[in-house]
A and B are shown apart, each in its own frame.
Chain A
Amino acid sequence: MPEVVPKPIAALTVVEVDYGGRLALGPFDLALQPGEIVSLVGPSGCGKSTALRLLAGLEAPTRGAVRRTPGRGETAVVFQAPTLMPWASALANAALPLDLAGVSRAEARERAMAALERVGLGAAASLKPAQLSGGMAMRVSLARALVTHPRLLLLDEPFAALDEITRRRLADDVLALWAETKPAIVFVTHNVEEAVYMASRVVVMSPGPGRTAGETVVEDPLPRPERFRTSEAFRLAVEKVSADLDRAMNGGERAA
C-alpha cells in the first residue's frame, strides 16, 4: 500500500523516544500526506506532544527515522498556551517568524497584518498579549503560525485552555483557514469530538509508551458542513474513536 500513496510531507517510521531511560513513545508510525489533517488522540502522557516535536524537527528520536520535506519556515507550531512574547504587540508577535527569517521590517509588518486580519484580529494589532482574551491570544498565535504560509502546521492541544463556545468557533476558523492554503495539519487533542470534527483521519494512541491503538477515517468534507456535530456520520466516528480509546486504555492497564 505505501507504493500507491503520494510522497508524504512528513513521516515517522518506527520511531521510539526514551526519556531518562524510560520508553515514552513508540514504536510509532505516522505518515502525513500534503494537505491532510490528522488528529492524534490519547490520554495525557501518551507521547502525543513528543510525536509532534519529532514532526517539527525540534527533537530527534532515540531510535527510528523522521523524514521531513518542509524547509525552514515551512513548519509552524501552535502550542497549548498562546506562547506570545508579553512585551510585544499582537502585530510584532505575528511578525516574529518573518523577522527571524530576515524579511524586511516593512514587509514583515504588512504580512503579519494580513495574517491578523485572516484570523479576525486586524483591529487588535497594537494590543499586547495581556490586553487580549484567551481566545484572541490563541488567534494571534494562529496568525503567527500562518504568516509564513507553512506546508506543515502542528497544533498541540491549541484549544485546551479555552471555553467550549470559543473552541468551537476557533475549530471552524482553523478549518476555514486550512481551506485557503491546504497545509498538512497534525492536531493533537485529548478530546474525541474535537478530534473527529477537525480531521479526515483520527489516530488513537495508547498510554505511555504511545503506540497506535486505532485509526478512524472521517469521510465527510472539510471544512465541516453546518450541523455536522449532530450528524450520524459524526456520531459513528466519535463512537468508533471512543471505542478505540477505551480499548487502548484497558489494554494498557492489562499490559502493565
Chain B
Amino acid sequence: MRRLSIFLAPLVLIAALILIWEIACRVLNVPIYLLPPPSAIGAALQANAPALLVSALNTLVMAIEALVAAAVLAIPLALASSLSPIVGRAISPIAVVLQVTPVVAIAPLVVIWAGLDHPERAITALAAIVAFFPIYSGAVTGLRSADPDLERLFDLYGATRRQRLIRLRIPAAAPFALEGIKVAAGLAVIGAVVAEFVAGSGGAQGLAWRILEAGNRLRTAEMFAALFVLGALGAGLNAAFQLGERALLKTWRGR
C-alpha cells in the first residue's frame, strides 16, 4: 500500500498540475502563443511525432557518441594519472578549466573549427567536453579509493605496479567510474542541446533545432512538445543508466 502510494504520488501531482493548467488556460483565455493548454500541446505532439522522434534520435546519437568519446579519452587519462602523479598534476588544471568554462562560451569556436557544414561534429565534440570531467574525476577518485589496508596487503606480498593496478585499483574504481558515466550521460544530452542552440543551424536536426524553429514561428505548443520529448529523453536515458549501474554494481559486489 505504502509502496503504491510512493509510486503514485508524483503521477497524481503531475495530473493535478496539468488539469489546473488546462482549466486556467480556458477560463482565463490565455493566448495560445503565450501559454498553450496541455490539450494543444498533446495535439502538437501527435501531429509532429515523426519529426520529433527523428530529432530526438539525432540528439540521442550525438549525446551517446559524445559520451563514448569522453569515456575513451577520460579513462585512459585517469589511469595514466593514477600511475604517475606527474601526469595527474599536469592534467588536472586543464580538466578543471574545461569543466568551469561554460560550453556556450566555447561553442562558437568549435562550430567554426568543425566547419559550418558539419554542425553535428561540433555538437558531439562540445557534448564530449561536458561529459569528460565527471568520468575523469570519478575514475581518478575511484583509482585512489582502494582500502589502505588492502594496499598494505599488496605491499606485504610484494605486488608489482601492474598487479596493483589490475587486481586492486581498477576493480576498486569501477563503481566510481560507473557513477561518473551516469552523470556524464545526463550532461552529454544537455551539452548536445546547448551546443545545437549555439550552432544555430538546422544541419544537425536535433531537438534544440525543433525548439528554435518552433519558437521563431511563435508555435508555442510545438515548442512545448519538443521540450516534452527532450525531458522524456533525458529521463529515459537517466533511468536506463541507473538500471545499468545497479545491475553492474550487483554483479560487482554480489548483492
Contact = CB atoms under 8 A, between A and B. Distances in A.
A82 to B, nearest CB: 10
Given A77-B156, A79-B149, A85-B150, A100 B254 contact: no
Taking residues whose C-beta sits less than 8 angstroms from the other chain, chain A's interface range is: 20 to 34
A117 interface: no
A56 B155 CA distance: 10
B247 interface: no
A183 to B, nearest CB: 15
Label chain B's interface by main secondary structure: helix
B253 A85 contact: no
A192 B130 CA distance: 58
Nearest to B155: A58
Interface residues of B, number: 21
B156 A58 contact: yes
Contacts of A58: 152, 155-156
Contacts of B159: 100
B254 A130 contact: yes
Interface string A48-73: 00000100111000000000000011
Nearest to B255: A130
Nearest to B164: A100
Given A130-B253, A131-B254, A83 B158 contact: no
B231 interface: no
B255 A85 contact: no
A97 interface: yes
Interface in B145-159: 147, 149-150, 152-159
B147 A83 contact: yes
B115 interface: no
Contacts, number: 61
A131 B255 contact: yes
Contact of A85 (B157, B158, B163, B168): B168
Contacts of A217: none
Interface in A95-122: 96-97, 99-101
B246 interface: no
B171 interface: yes
A75 B156 contact: yes
A81 interface: yes
A87 B167 CA distance: 10
Contact of A86 (B153, B157, B252): B252
Contacts of A129: 253-254
B246 to A, nearest CB: 14
Given A128-B254, A130-B254, A87 B152 contact: no
A73 B252 CA distance: 28
B149 A86 contact: no
Contacts of A236: none
A131 B250 CA distance: 11
B156 A56 contact: yes
Contacts of A97: 157
13 contacts: A53-B152, A57-B156, A58-B156, A76-B156, A77-B156, A79-B149, A83-B149, A85-B172, A87-B253, A97-B157, A100-B163, A130-B253, A130-B255
8 pairs of A and B residues whose beta carbons are closest in the complex: A128-B254, A83-B149, A100-B157, A130-B255, A87-B171, A130-B253, A79-B149, A100-B159
